[in-house]
Amino acid sequence: MLRIASACRAATRASTSRAAILARPAAVRNYSEELSAADFDAKWKSYFEDQSLDSHAIRRGLNDLFAHDLVPEPVILEQALRACRRVNDFSTSVRIFEGVKDKSPDAETYNYVVAQLKPVTEELEVSLPEELGLQ
């Protein structure tokens, strides 16, 4: 008697769980926010200005930032470089320039960003990948 009841419960659970799985709506995730250029810049600038960021959070933010199909504005990159300096993460500061070079459609764009960030790189004593022989 116990085996039959147990078998009936198992069969009911199997059919119920399968039906429940099929009836559940698929999860929909929206990974892209519709932000204006100014809002996008303000969002990332304020992210990197956060004093509580550690190296991991900075790298994650940079990964998310570079996942977009654009070259980040120098004001965003300046705050990212300052965040790297705040936590003494030299390697990530160099990786920022590598990411910009990868995202830049041409050398002119990369050179523009580097020129805009030159005062910051001198102030923070950050080296470019080219100066280190990396590219």
DSSP summary character for residue 106: S
Closest CA to 124 of 101, 103, 96: 96
> Is the whole-model pTM more than 0.85?
no
What are the tens digits of pLDDT across the range 96-130? 999 999 999 999 999 999 999 999 999 999 999 98
Kind and range of the H or E element at 129? none
Least confident of 18-32, 39-53, 59-73, 75-89: 18-32
